[in-house]
């Protein structure tokens, strides 16, 4: 479907998969609300996208941020059609090196913020009888390996919540789906690199953010008859099950 006139909210929109997804949705006709902490990047992207797109600087890890974002969007546009929960952070390390100070920030941004935003926007979309929520997960949700238990565990929790929300909203006009990327070259690996750890995108040729954005756009433009529950995208060289 053409997304002309639709309002799409993308979190983590200042770089990587978020910025690429915003571009893909704008190309399909949507007006974007770009959410992240770096206001300067958001403003530049909003100017590039046009269509009345707007920047909204916020730290989604703040428990109040999802409500404030919801109220801003409804106040500005009186509607919300597409929500892409993309903001996330990665800290992965063996137990001897794992920084437990990263645990609560990861829970806040990778899980709690998504639950809060999904719940608030789902209520509004349900009342309107239409809308889409697209949550960015990771193939890490299903990988059992040393060092990735916290990140993968939170993505697994996110997927369980998202699937239950999809089932609850079935028939309401509100669709809920997951995009689960494999190895993609984004700033999420900067934590690893800063600690001298080889980042995952150094082992194989990684995907680029636009590759994942295409999957987001497919879900956003799907037929009224369908509810795409999940698109899992592996890098061509990924050999993970």
| Per-position pLDDT tens, the chain of length 241 | 599 999 999 999 999 999 999 999 999 999 999 999 999 999 999 999 999 999 999 999 999 999 999 999 999 999 999 999 999 999 999 999 999 999 999 999 999 999 999 999 999 999 999 999 999 999 999 999 889 999 999 999 999 999 999 999 999 999 999 999 998 987 766 777 777 777 777 778 899 999 999 999 999 999 999 999 999 999 999 887 5
Which residue among the candidates 56, 111, 151, 234 is catalytic per the annotation? Answer: 151
According to DSSP, the β-strands at 230-233 and 174-181 are: parallel
pLDDT digits (tens, 9 = 90+) for 13-49: 999 999 999 999 999 999 999 999 999 999 999 999 9
Long-range Cβ contacts of 115-121 (<8 Å, 24+ apart): 115/161, 116/63, 116/66, 116/67, 117/11, 117/60, 117/66, 117/69, 117/70, 117/83, 117/85, 118/83, 118/85, 118/161, 118/162, 118/165, 118/176, 120/66, 120/67, 120/70, 121/9, 121/70, 121/80, 121/83
In the DSSP assignment, the letter for residue 184 is: B
Residue 155 is predicted with a pLDDT of 97
Q: Residue 151's closest CA among 117, 185, 192?
A: 192
Alpha helices in 79-148 (DSSP H): 103-107, 113-128
Residue 192 is predicted with a pLDDT of 73
Let me know if 234 is a catalytic residue. Answer: no
Work out the angle at residue 223's Cα, subtended by the Cα atoms of residues 218 and 225, and round it to the nearest 5 degrees. 135
């Amino acid at each position: 479907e053409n997304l002309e006139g639709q309002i799409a909210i993308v979190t983590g929109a200042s770089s990587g998969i978020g910025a690429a997804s915003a571009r893909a949705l704008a190309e399909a006709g949507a007006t974007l609300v770009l959410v992240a902490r770096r206001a300067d990047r958001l403003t530049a992207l909003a100017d590039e996208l046009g269509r009345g797109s707007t920047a909204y600087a916020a730290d989604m890890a703040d428990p109040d941020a999802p409500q404030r974002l919801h109220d801003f969007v409804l106040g500005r546009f009186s509607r919300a059609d597409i929500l892409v929960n993309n903001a996330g952070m990665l800290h992965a390390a063996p137990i001897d090196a794992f920084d437990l100070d990263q645990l609560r920030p990861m829970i806040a941004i990778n899980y709690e913020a998504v639950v809060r935003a999904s719940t608030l926007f789902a209520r509004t979309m349900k009342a309107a009888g239409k809308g889409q929520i697209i949550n960015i997960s990771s193939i890490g949700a299903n990988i059992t390996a040393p060092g990735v238990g916290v990140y993968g565990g939170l993505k697994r929790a996110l997927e369980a919540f998202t699937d239950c929300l999809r089932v609850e909203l079935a028939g309401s006009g509100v669709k809920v789906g997951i995009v689960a990327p494999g190895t993609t070259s984004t700033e999420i690996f900067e934590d690893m690199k800063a600690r001298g750890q080889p980042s995952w995108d150094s082992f194989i040729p990684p995907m680029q953010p636009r590759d994942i954005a295409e999957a987001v756009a497919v879900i956003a433009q799907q037929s009224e008859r369908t509810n795409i529950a999940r698109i899992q995208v592996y890098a061509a060289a990924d050999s993970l099950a």
